Every structure is written in structure tokens, then in C-alpha cells.
Amino acid sequence: MKIPYYPGCTLHERARDFDTSARECALALGVELEELAIWTCCGAVYPLVTDSVMDVLAGVRNLSYASRLGDKVVTLCSFCYNVLKRCNNVMRDDEDKRDKTNLFLRADTEARKKVESYTHEDYEGQVEVLHYIEMLRDVVGYDKVASAVTKKLEGLKVAPYYGCMLLRPKNEMKFDDPEQPTIFEEFLETLGCEAVDFPMKTECCGGFQVVNDEELAVSCSQNVVVSALKRNADIIVTTCPLCRYNLDRHQEKMAERVKGFSRVPVVYFTQLLGIALGIDKKHLDFTDNSVDPLPVLAEKSLF
Amino acid sequence: MEERIGVFVCHCGTNIAGVVDVKRVAEELADYPGVAYSTDYTYMCSDPGQNLVKDAIKKHNLTGVIVAACSPTLHEATFRRAGMTAGMNQYQVEIANIREQCSWVHQGDKEAATSKAIRTIKVMIEKARLDEALEPISVPMTPRALVVGGGIAGIQAALDVANAGHEVILVEKSASIGGHMAQLSETFPTLDCSQCIMTPKMVEVAQHPKIRLMTYSEVDDVSGYVGNFKVKIRKKAAYVNRDVCTGCGLCVEKCPAKTPSEFDEQLADRKAIYTPFPQAVPNKPVLDAEHCTYFLKDGKCGICAKVCPLDCIDYEQKDEFIEEEVGAIIVATGYDLYPIENLGEYGGGKYADVITSLQFERMLSASGPTGGEVLRPSDGEVPSEVVFLTCCGSRDTENHLPYCSKICCMYLTKHAMLYRHKVHDGQAYVFYMDVRTGGKGYEEFYTRAAEEDDVLYIRGKVSKIFEEDGRVMVWGVDTLSGRKIEIAADMAVLGLATVPNEAAAKLASMLKIHTDEWGFLSEAHPKLRPVESLTPGFYLAGSAQGPKDIPESVAQASAAASKVAALFAETEYHREPVIAVIDEDTCAGCRVCISVCPYDAAEFDDEKKVARIKEAICEGCGACIAACPSGSAQQKNLTDEQLYKMVSAALEV
């Protein structure tokens, strides 16, 4: 089965480990992630002003490409997922904005024809935007994932970190209960490991604030990491390159501030899935982490 | 016969006359065909005004009267009575509304308003021309009331109707009457013990010769109409012969099966055979088959039957159905708390030490699971810091319910106060949006909590509660100081929103009485008819109609009871005759009217093969008239012919 796949910029640059592990895992589960032939940045942040059409163009353009490949598009990064899903809602539910956006994209296409082969087809929100984990649950099925597991992650205590972008705003994202989500816990149970329930799993990591106020990002992510550590997590999983960055890279500073702080590795959920499915280690690539996950994985005889 | 119609144009001070040229209206209409007399007056509803109408009826021998004044909802009855005393049929007196629908809405254009007033009156003249003399419909009255729900509202309503000398059937779905009030510890703002003031009333119900108490029973079906309802009551199988049982309690003591107690809000267990609480009325157990070993394990157990000295246990007992006739129904089905699980941000249902307000009531109650001590559910320790949260689900348009649940500010104040009385060195915090103290002595009670009992009130909402190091961490904001607040507390009590009891929705649809969008029963008028349903014969009491505290529930229950007593004061009930009638000669018997009637008022006459309207039930809604393909269904005094002429007059064609 082929499913259209939108990687997003970060997965082609800083988060190649996320991209590769996700593709390989999908293949092992019988799904080929078919990368869109052309795609651009999603816009990275969904516009909060309601009168702007310009800001949804990038997202819609990508959705329009996806619509030519199939009725779904899968993505991994929480930001991309948030932006694409909300742009899709606009195109589906807001007739006025839909018409304006399509008009603009038609004109834009004419202009760009001179430099590249590029077409636009009017888009009406018909594609279903799926997060990779939703694909695992709803398209593949957790039971099939469980039966494909060759190495149960027994004894590993995993703290699933959701962050905000998957869950909020709840009326638009409709991903899971925004306060007490469980989709990742259920996923982790299919891999045979122990999901650690920690209260900061939906708190913000600091996000883009790291660019202009690193202190703020450190204190936000410290709040998350310490909470997971307190509940004896061996490892934290995330689904967002930015969350991974904040939780992982700031641990040096956290160690300076928090007495008795012990470092905890932060990996993508697809990397753990890869171990459980017995994917070749070279595709999982645990080299980009500040806190090396290999010791704890080795300790549990998982890697 | 030639009509002789009188037109009476009211000035309503300047309300009408300030905009409409009333003199011109009266003068122009004097020349309209069929008008025998036309005049105007400052206040037609005053005694001299009414006398003007009465004198004119007699002097000019009028056959119809049009009073051009305010809305008919205000003074139609006034002028109909005036007409009757002057010897006219009251249904030949009509109101033309030239105030709400004319002068008040066309203040900027006097000319247009005047011409509209003239046309409005002409419309009513056309109607009056063909108005028949009608008589109110009389239906017999069964002077027996059904009260649904045995909480404080149902109890009070039953007692008041019974004390007025009428029979009452009180139906309660659980094993005992008492409702939520029986669960409460003490009551605001006086701090008197809830059960102490409640139990005498419960006993009075049980002993009252006019009250037939049916606990562990539910209303299964209601048919009929005001004065003549037929109700089917399902007496649920209790597996105990409760007529013989003396309530000795031996079966309860020996029963080996346990399940969380509903009465104790899951803080303690009850047996599978149980009386909900020690002062239960009737104080006789019921057996809950869902948790009983005998039923779950194919007859293995039977201990209760073995120990019962009077052989009351009957495992073969079936639901029993009882049919009764009643004249009026008081619905007092009460409230539930908004599910705590819906408050995910506070870990509702997840953390043992985040509890509901009713759980805290049980904890405070001397007969409760902790014997009146405040103890953390997780470890049984005395909490030294407790956070109370108002508006958990209420006043939250985005996430939960938009309305104010009204009672939470006060009961949380009471909770905080009682906690401080029991744990002297404990700290109580109350997070609030506003402290709403609308009631006698309520503001003083709140002040006392804050000033004498040192309850710390923090104006702001709580964003998150989570467990950390064995405590419940409360993250909130103090909007007065503008600071974020973090409290490491031992326990959090959620003032959950009040929602209608789930039984109410089912009952409302069966009774065909209206509810609002949240499921609370709708009153006939929010101000002037607050205890009646729009459907005649149904009355509302207590929290089923909206969040209410005890005094309000009791007041509404007594009000509903007095309405019922007034209804029962006459042996017949009189209804408006402006209803549908079917012309047997033209009716083809297609039965469309029967299918569209929302009141089941249309029936089929098998002999004549035509439809017929039951006069006692028809509300005159007009659904059948619009649906009838042959025009055989007509509204009395609003026939197709009348409507045609009225519309023609309105359009001046």
C-alpha cells in the first residue's frame, strides 16, 4: 500500500533520523510512504490572524499536491501536522477563504510556469491529513503492529511526550483528548514496553521561543524532562523535531540547575518502533542525540 | 344576521397615542362595513375604560368587540370578562395589537403607524364577523397527583398536595427517598445538619395517609391529558418482599458481596443487598442482582434467604407494573454532577485525591464513610492543605457548559469552612471567578468563611492539577495580584457543574414536556409561570428545572403543589375551546391528521371511517389543519374562511 507522504523541511535536514526510521518501519508494516513529487515548507506556524490568505498558501499548495496522489497525506513533524490539518480545515469549511486561496494559487501557477513545471488544481479540503501514529492505529492497525514486533521492548520505561501541536486547538486538531491523551501509551504497549504516565506530557517544550529566549525554552523543557525522570523514565519519545531539540539539547543546562539531575535520552517514537520491528540499525541512526540513548538501550539488551 | 361590531381604540397613555393618531383611527373605522360603534379612550383597561366597552355592548347591541390595544397576552382575559358581564360571548371579543406590533416598533413614522393600526383593526373586524359563540370545554378531574422524584423537592410537593387533602403517588427510582439532600452534611448558610432537617419530612411522607410511596419504582408510561392521566409505574424487582420485611438488617449484615456505594459516592462499599443509608425511608433493603453472588454464580450463595427470619427473600421476583389514574404530575427529577472524568485538566477520575463536591459532603457527614473526618482517599491521612475549585464545568463556553450552576460558590464556602472547623491548623483555598452569594444570609456566610475561618479566596481559575511526590499540585493564577500560583495541596475538591438527572431526559420525551438545550425542564414562562410546564397538567419542582439550592427547591415545590391544589379545587377542568374540529361530511379518513398531531389528540372513528379530535386533549396548534388535504380540519374561530378574509384585509385586496 502506498500512502502520500509529506516529510517537511526538518525531516530532510536536522531530523533525517526521524524520516529514515519512519520510512523503514512503514515498509516493514507493508506501507510505502510515497513522498510528494514537489513540496514546499508548510509555513511552519499556522497563522493566527483570521483575515490572512497568504499564510495558508504554502500549506494548501502541499495539500493540493497530495490530492493528486491519493486521499490521504501522512506527516510526522508536529508542526507540519498542525499547519496542514488546520489549512485543510480552512479549505474544507471556509468557502470564502477557499475561493480566494484557489484564485491566488491559479495566478501564482501562471507566473511560475516560466521557471518550472508546476500546475495547480483547485483544492477543496478533500485530503485527510494523518499523523504517522494515526496511520499506525487506523490504517495499519495496532494489532498488526503488535504482530510485526520481533523484539519486545520489555523492561524499558518510556515517557511519551506529546507537546502541544498535536493536540491543540482541540476543536480543530481532534487528535486525542487534549488533557489526558493516550494514543502514544497505547502504541507503546503494542511494542511491549512500559508507558510512563507523567503529568507534563502535554506541557509546552518552549518551541520556537528558543530562538529569542533560550532561558524560557530551557525552563519549559526542564519542567518536562524532570517530570519524566521523577517517574523513572528510561527514555523519552517525541514526535516533533523541535520538541526533541529542546528536551535533548538543554540537558547540560538542566544538569547545572537541578540537583541530582540524571540525563535521559530523547528519541523519536519511530526509532523505538524500528528496534521493536527489527529494522536494520543503520536506518535508525542514534547519532544525532546530545544524550546518547545507546547505553540505556544496551543495558536493556535492545540495541 | 347583520353584524354590529364595536371598535375601542386605546391610547395607552402615550404608548400608543404618542405615535398612532388614535382619533383618526376611531373615526375612519366608524365607516367600515359592519362597525356599529367606534371610539377611543386613554386607558381602556381601567375601570372606566371597561365600563365604556360594557355600556356600548348593551347600548348598541353589539355582536362583536375589537379592543385595539396591547398584546392579547396581557388584557385579552380582561376584556373577555368585561364582554361576558355585558352579556356577550367571550370568544366574540378580540384584541387588535396596535402597541407591541405597531406603535412601539414604528415610532419614527407616525403616518405609517396610523395606517398600519387601521389595517390591523380591520383584520380583526373580519375575524370577528365570523366568530362563533363558543363555550369553554369541561373535562372531568381526577384529584390525585403523581410526583416523580423523591428528593427534597418531590417530598415537599407531595406533602403539600397531600396536606391540601388530595391523594398523592410519590415515585422514587432508588431504594429510599431523600435524594441528594440526604447525602449532604450540613447546609448553608445556617450549618444545620441536613439529615436532621430532612428525616422528619421523610418520615412524614411514609406515615401520611394520603401519600402512596413507591420507592425502587419508575414511571414507564404516561398517556391522557390534564385531569385524566393514565400512568404506568414499574416497581422494580427488589427480590425482597418489602411488604413483609421489617428491616431487621440481618440479610445485609451477612451478605458477602460488596460493590461501591452510590450513596457514599464510591468512597465506601455497600452490600449487594442493601438499604442506602441508616435513615432510609422505607428502611427496607433491596437486592441489586447485578452484584449479587446468587445471580452471578447460578444460585451459589443464597445466604440472605437462609438468614431472613420472615422468608422475605424472593429470587424469582419480577418487575411489577401498576396502572393508576392521576389528574396532575409534578416532575422533580433533580440533578446530577457533571462527570468528573470530563475535567481531564484536573485529572478528574484519575487521581484519588481529586474528588467531587458530593464526595466531600459524604466525608464531612457524621454517617459517612469516614465518620465525619476529613481524610485523603489515597492514604487516609488528614489533609493539611485543601484546594476548592468553583466553576468546574460551569461558565466555560469553550470547553464545558456555559451556564452558572448557582449552588457551588455557597457549598464550597461551606466545605472550606467545615474543613477548617474539623482541621484547625489546615489551610483552605478557594479558587473563584466571582463569589455569587445571591440569597438571604449568603454574603454574611461567605464573609464569615473568609474573615473568621481564614479561608483563602483566590480570584482566578486553575489550569492544571497533577500528582507530584504524593501531593496534588495545583497550578492556577491569582488575577488580583497578576501572579501564577502553585499550591502543593493534599486534596482538591471540584465544584462540578449541576446537570439534569439523566432520568429527566427520558421522562421529558415520554411526557412530551419541553426542555432547554441542556436538558433542564422548561417552565411555561420564565417569570410569571415558573412552576408550570407548557403542557397543561405538568408542574416542575427543584433542580430538574435549573440549578437550585434547598430553599429555592422547597419554595418551587410548594408553589407547584399549590398550583395542583388549585387545579383540584374544582371537579372539572375548563379549557380554551379554540381547537381543531373535523367536518365528518368531507373527511376522507386519510388519517394524516392523526400522524401529525403532536398531542395524540386526533383519533379514528372506525364506524364512521373519519377522524375525530379529542376535545380534551387538542391544544389548538393547527398542525392537522395545515396537513388536512381536504380542508376538513378547521380551527374554531380561525377557519380558512376567516383567515382568507383577514389576510385580504391586511393586504387591502
Of the candidates B423, B413, B410, which has an alpha carbon nearest to the alpha carbon of residue B383? Answer: B423
Alpha-carbon gap, residue B637 to B577, rounded angstroms: 9
State how far residue A25 is from chain B, nearest Cα, in angstroms.
33
Of the candidates A186, A27, A66, A47, which has an alpha carbon nearest to the alpha carbon of residue A75? Answer: A66
Is B400 in the A-facing interface, judged by CB distances under 8 Å?
A: no
Residue A118: predicted pLDDT = 66
Partnered with residue B488 across adjacent β-strands are: B473
Strands lying side by side in the sheet with B217-225: B217-225, B228-235, B320-326
Answer yes or no: do A199 and B345 touch at CB < 8 A. Answer: no
Give Cα A190 distance to the centre of its chain.
19
Looking at residue B451, which CATH number applies to its domain?
Answer: 3.50.50.60
**Interval B215-249: pLDDT, tens:** 999 999 998 888 999 999 999 999 999 999 999 99
Is A150 in the B-facing interface, judged by CB distances under 8 Å?
A: no
Q: Identify whether the C-beta of residue B175 lies closer than 8 Å to the C-beta of residue B286.
A: yes
Element (H, E) at B59: helix B47-60
Residue B505, pLDDT > 90, answer: no
Domains and CATH numbers, chain A: 2-129 (1.20.1050.140), 152-299 (3.40.50.11810)
Answer yes or no: do A199 and B347 touch at CB < 8 A. Answer: yes
B651, part of any domain: no
Residue A125: predicted pLDDT = 95
Element (H, E) at B366: none
Residue B1: predicted pLDDT = 58
Answer yes or no: do B458 and B344 share one domain.
Answer: yes
Answer yes or no: do B505 and B494 share one domain.
Answer: no
For CA atoms B378, B384, B385, B389, the dihedral sign is: positive
Question: What cell numbers appear for B513 in the block?
Answer: 414536556
B66, part of any domain: yes
**Interval B474-485: pLDDT, tens:** 999 999 999 999
State how far residue A199 is from chain B, nearest Cα, in angstroms.
6
Answer yes or no: do B591 and B607 share one domain.
Answer: yes
Determine the angle formed by the axes of helices A78-93 and A57-69, rounding to 10 degrees: 90
**Interval A98-119: pLDDT, tens:** 999 999 988 887 777 766 666 7
Determine the angle formed by the axes of helices A183-190 and A269-277, rounding to 10 degrees: 20
A194-195 vs A157-160, strand pairing mode: parallel
Q: Which residues of B touch A199 (CB under 8 A)?
A: 347, 464, 466-468, 473
Alpha-carbon gap, residue B409 to B436, rounded angstroms: 6
Q: Kindly report the average pLDDT of chain B as a whole number.
A: 95
State how far residue B468 is from chain A, nearest Cα, in angstroms.
9
Answer yes or no: do B393 and B435 share one domain.
Answer: yes
Under the banding of pLDDT at 50, 70 and 90, the label for residue A121 is confident
DSSP code of residue B529? B
Residue A303: predicted pLDDT = 84
- The rounded percent of chain A whose pLDDT value lies above 70 is 98
Q: Identify whether the C-beta of residue B20 lies closer than 8 Å to the C-beta of residue B99.
A: no
Q: Which residues of B touch A200 (CB under 8 A)?
A: 466
Is A230 in the B-facing interface, judged by CB distances under 8 Å?
A: yes
- The rounded percent of chain B whose pLDDT value lies above 70 is 100
Answer yes or no: do B526 and B473 share one domain.
Answer: no
B643, part of any domain: no
Question: What cell numbers appear for B103 in the block?
Answer: 406603535
**Interval B611-647: pLDDT, tens:** 999 988 888 999 999 999 999 999 999 999 999 999 9
Alpha-carbon gap, residue B561 to B564, rounded angstroms: 5
Is A278 in the B-facing interface, judged by CB distances under 8 Å?
A: no
Of the candidates B141, B277, B279, B106, which has an alpha carbon nearest to the alpha carbon of residue B200? Answer: B279
Answer yes or no: do B219 and B276 share one domain.
Answer: no
Residue A229, pLDDT > 70, answer: yes
B642, part of any domain: no
State how far residue B337 is from chain A, nearest Cα, in angstroms.
20
Q: Identify whether the C-beta of residue B153 lies closer than 8 Å to the C-beta of residue B182.
A: no
Q: What is the DSSP string of A164-230?
A: TTTT-SHHHH-SS-SSS--HHHHHHHHTTPEEPP-GGGGS---TTHHHH-HHHHHHHHHHHHHHHHH
Residue A159, pLDDT > 80, answer: yes
Backbone phi and psi for residue A251, each to the nearest 5 degrees, phi listed first: -70, -25
Question: What cell numbers appear for A9 in the block?
Answer: 523541511
Cell 520510512 belongs to which residue? A23
Alpha-carbon gap, residue A137 to A145, rounded angstroms: 9
Strands lying side by side in the sheet with A32-35: A32-35, A2-5, A72-75, A128-131
Of the candidates A214, A228, A223, A211, which has an alpha carbon nearest to the alpha carbon of residue A265? Answer: A228
B419, part of any domain: yes
Q: Identify whether the C-beta of residue B10 lies closer than 8 Å to the C-beta of residue B41.
A: yes
Range of the domain at B433: 338-498
Alpha-carbon gap, residue B431 to B429, rounded angstroms: 7
Answer yes or no: do B494 and B345 share one domain.
Answer: yes
State how far residue B474 is from chain A, nearest Cα, in angstroms.
12
Alpha-carbon gap, residue B511 to B518, rounded angstroms: 17
pTM of this structure: 0.86
Residue A116: predicted pLDDT = 65
Alpha-carbon gap, residue A125 to A63, rounded angstroms: 8
Residue B600, pLDDT > 90, answer: no
Per the structure, the count of domains in chain B is 5
Of the candidates A92, A62, A53, A98, which has an alpha carbon nearest to the alpha carbon of residue A80? Answer: A62
Which site among A180, A197, A216, A231 would you substitute to test the B interface, given the most B Cβ atoms closer than 10 Å to its Cβ? A180
**Stretch 186-225 of chain A: residues touching chain B, C-beta under 8 Å:** 199-200
Alpha-carbon gap, residue B472 to B415, rounded angstroms: 18
Alpha-carbon gap, residue B393 to A116, rounded angstroms: 55
B358, part of any domain: yes
Interface predicted TM-score (ipTM): 0.88
Is B475 in the A-facing interface, judged by CB distances under 8 Å?
A: no
Q: Identify whether the C-beta of residue B264 lies closer than 8 Å to the C-beta of residue B356.
A: no
Q: Identify whether the C-beta of residue B132 lies closer than 8 Å to the C-beta of residue B177.
A: no
DSSP code of residue B515? B
Cell 479566596 belongs to which residue? B457
Who contacts B84 (Cβ-Cβ below 8 Å, separation ≥6)?
Answer: B90
Residue A45, pLDDT > 90, answer: no
* Residue B113: how many other CB atoms lie within 10 Å: 23
B241, part of any domain: no
Question: What cell numbers appear for B14 in the block?
Answer: 402615550
Is A30 in the B-facing interface, judged by CB distances under 8 Å?
A: no
Answer yes or no: do B393 and B455 share one domain.
Answer: yes
**Interval A177-218: pLDDT, tens:** 999 999 999 999 999 999 999 999 999 999 999 999 999 999
Looking at residue B629, which CATH number applies to its domain?
Answer: 3.30.70.20
Residue A115: predicted pLDDT = 61
Q: Average pLDDT for residues B391-414, to the nearest whole number? A: 97
Answer yes or no: do B344 and A178 touch at CB < 8 A. Answer: yes
**Nearest residue on chain A to B341, alpha-carbon basis:** A180
Q: Which carries the bigger pLDDT value, residue B133 or residue A121?
A: B133
Q: Identify whether the C-beta of residue B183 lies closer than 8 Å to the C-beta of residue B263.
A: yes
Q: What is the DSSP string of B276-336?
A: SSTT-SS---EE-GGG-HHHHTTT---HHHHH-TT--B-TT---EEEEEEESEEEE---EE
Name residue A3's amino acid: I
Answer yes or no: do B414 and B546 share one domain.
Answer: no
Of the candidates A4, A13, A10, which has an alpha carbon nearest to the alpha carbon of residue A37? Answer: A4
Q: Which residues of A touch B350 (CB under 8 A)?
A: 180
Partnered with residue B578 across adjacent β-strands are: none
Q: In angstroms, what CA-CA distances link A151 with A147, B171, B446, B538, B612?
A: 11, 61, 62, 67, 77
Give Cα B483 distance to the centre of its chain.
43
Answer yes or no: do B480 and B582 share one domain.
Answer: no
Answer yes or no: do B344 and A230 touch at CB < 8 A. Answer: no
**Interval B324-347: pLDDT, tens:** 999 999 999 999 999 999 999 999
Answer yes or no: do B484 and B377 share one domain.
Answer: yes
Residue A117: predicted pLDDT = 66
Who contacts B475 (Cβ-Cβ below 8 Å, separation ≥6)?
Answer: B462, B463, B464, B465, B484, B485, B486
**Interval B45-64: pLDDT, tens:** 999 999 999 999 999 999 99
Determine the angle formed by the axes of helices A57-69 and A95-112, rounding to 10 degrees: 80
Answer yes or no: do B387 and B527 share one domain.
Answer: no
Question: What cell numbers appear for A234 in the block?
Answer: 528510561
- List the single residue in A179, A227, A230 with the smallest CB-CB distance to B345: A179
Q: Identify whether the C-beta of residue A98 lies closer than 8 Å to the C-beta of residue A87.
A: no
**Stretch 345-374 of chain B: residues touching chain A, C-beta under 8 Å:** 345, 347, 350
CA R_g for chain B: 31
B150, part of any domain: yes
Alpha-carbon gap, residue B2 to B491, rounded angstroms: 83
B211-214 vs B167-171, strand pairing mode: parallel
- Tell me, letter by letter, the H, E, C secondary structure of A118-152: CCCCCCCCCCEEEEHHHHHHHHHHHHHHHHHCCCC
Answer yes or no: do A179 and B350 touch at CB < 8 A. Answer: no
Alpha-carbon gap, residue B540 to B532, rounded angstroms: 6
Q: Identify whether the C-beta of residue A262 lies closer than 8 Å to the C-beta of residue A232.
A: no
Residue B535: predicted pLDDT = 85
B5-10 vs B64-69, strand pairing mode: parallel
Residue A192: predicted pLDDT = 95
Of the candidates A8, A41, A7, A38, which has an alpha carbon nearest to the alpha carbon of residue A22? Answer: A7
Q: Average pLDDT for residues B443-447, to the nearest whole number? A: 98
DSSP code of residue B432? E
Under the banding of pLDDT at 50, 70 and 90, the label for residue B43 is very high
Which site among B392, B396, B462, B464 would you substitute to test the A interface, given the most A Cβ atoms closer than 10 Å to its Cβ? B464
